[in-house]
Amino acid sequence: MRGKEKLPLIWKISMGFIIGIALGFIIGPMASTSAFTANILLPGLDLIGKIFLSLLKMLIVPLVFSSIIMGAASIGDPKVLGRIGVKTVALYLSTTVVAIVFGLFLGNIIQPGLGLDITGASGDVKSGATIVETILNIFPSNPLMALVNGVMLQVRVFALFLGVSATLIGEKGKKFLEFNESLAEIMYKMTAIVMSFAPYGIFALIAVTAAKYWLAVLAPFAKVIFAVYLGCFLQAIVVYSGLVTLFTKKSPLWFFSGVKEAMLAAFVTRSSSGVLPISMANVQKNLGVSEKVSSFVLPLGATINMDGTALYQGVCSLFVAQAFGIDLTFQAQIGILITATLASIGTAGVPGAGLIMLSMVLTSAGLPIEGIGLVAGIDAVLDMARTCINVTGDMCVSTVVAKSEGEKF
């Protein structure tokens, strides 16, 4: 007699997602009348979701650090590393620019901010870094502090230098690389353990979100939500499908079927960095991308490739401008495109980081930073779609780069 087959993780996550939405819609309206719902049930679900997110964050620094070192070392030849790096960065920047263009186009066509009553709107958001500061912040002056504080782009740069340097010194760097290989394997196993709790964490997260952002909050901002979600859909169908078809000669369905688990996890957790372990597992096991390429391309993409967030900047910039009655010229919109592209480099891959990035874009465009207050109320809903696209873009680029390096799928 055959043993009972285990239900795949994607189905468990999907079930948690659907049940969580249903529960959220039921308990959301009850929160204002039921003390149990407001004071015990919702805080309890919120606690479960936050514990799951904390477990994911626990993995990020050691996983990324060890993966990039081993990725750089496994490529071996610095010339090959440079070639892969140039391809990766070029593709990431190109898809980001296209995403911002989609966002600006939809913002102009749909005009989500027209007729919105912004009386009383205000923002209390930390200002973003300048463009010069953003570039300088790529390079760690104190790598240990970057590791402790989780400054992920600096961690990636430091790990890349370590991996290349350990490879260049040959035999003397072998023990260091062996240690990092063991660390990477330990982190992969730890990731598998944490992900076994994903259905419960995702159930709790989506239940709280559905309860908190039900129609009372979503309805007044339906147009901006529609614009962002439509833009993300176009980015996936036009850009990612096109790249996969053009470079791998495979059907887009092959790609999306292989990465659906990471896409759903990104949609719910709203953390590009937190989903990195799932993304790496999906492209390696389902698409056949080598660890050599994926361990370099994906961790890098979790920081510098923010297609969904960049698209969101385009839509929300026009949303704020229209809400405040400000006419953005073509030149001003080109400025938004450039600023949002640069701002996407080094943006933290954690929930809510897009608001900090938006404050930088609004300031650079001369728009009222008070506009952040308009977006903050629905940011969690927008964050789901943009994070899903951020992660999908990373996996698409890793697939294209792997194919360009002669890998067979």
pLDDT given for residue 399 in this prediction = 96
Report which of residues 26 and 373 the model is more confident about: 26
Q: Which pLDDT value is given to residue 395?
A: 97
C-alpha radius of gyration, the chain, whole number: 21
Neighbouring C-beta atoms of residue 9, cutoff 10 Å: 17
**Tens digit of pLDDT for each residue in 158-167?**
988 898 898 8
Instruction: Report pLDDT digits (tens) over 236-267.
Output: 999 999 999 999 999 999 999 999 999 999 99
For the chain, the average pLDDT equals 83
Residue 34 has pLDDT above 60, yes or no: yes
The reported pLDDT for the residue numbered 259 is 95
One-letter amino acid of 47: L
pLDDT, residue 219, reads: 56
Query: With contact defined as beta carbons under 8 Å apart, do 270 and 61 qualify?
Result: no
Q: How far apart are CA 5 and CA 19, in angstroms?
A: 22
At 296, the pLDDT band (50, 70, 90 cuts) reads confident
Q: CA 362, CA 347: separation in Å to the nearest integer?
A: 16
pLDDT at residue 126, rounded to an integer: 41
Residues in the chain: 409
Percent composition of the chain: helix, strand, coil (DSSP 3-state, to 5):
80, 0, 20
Q: What is the Cα–Cα distance from 249 to 246, expressed in whole angstroms?
A: 6
What is the pLDDT, as a whole number, of residue 263?
95
Closest-CA residue to 203 (of 273, 268, 267, 275): 268
Q: What backbone phi and psi angles, to 5 degrees, belong to 324? A: -95, 5
Categorize the per-residue pLDDT at 80 as very low, low, confident or very high, splitting at 50, 70 and 90: low
Percent share of the chain, pLDDT over 70: 83
Burial (CB < 10 A; 0-12, 13-18, 19+), residue 309, is: buried
Q: pLDDT-based confidence at 307, cuts 50/70/90?
A: very high
Averaged over 199-207, what is the pLDDT? Answer: 87
The total of other beta-carbon atoms located within 10 Å of residue 94's CB is 14
- The Cα–Cα gap between 275 and 266 comes to 6
**Which pLDDT score, from 0 to 100, does residue 122 have?**
41
Mind listing the pLDDT tens digit for each residue in 108-166? 999 988 766 554 444 333 444 555 766 777 788 999 998 998 776 688 789 888 988 98
pLDDT at 376: 67
Question: How high is the pLDDT of residue 385?
Answer: 93
Task: Supply the DSSP symbol for 139.
Answer: S
Flag the least confident range among 79-93, 96-110, 271-285, 394-408. 79-93
Answer yes or no: is pLDDT of 349 > 60.
Answer: no
Q: To 10 degrees, the CA torsion angle through 322, 323, 324, 326?
A: 0
DSSP annotation of 324: T
Q: Which CATH superfamily does the domain covering 9-404 fall into? A: Sodium:dicarboxylate symporter (1.10.3860.10)
pLDDT tens, residue by residue, 359-384: 767 876 778 877 776 776 677 788 88
Q: What tokens were used for 127?
A: 């200002």
% of the chain beyond a pLDDT of 90: 34
Domain boundaries, the chain: 9-404
Average pLDDT of the segment spanning 334-360: 67
Looking at residue 15, what is its pLDDT? 87
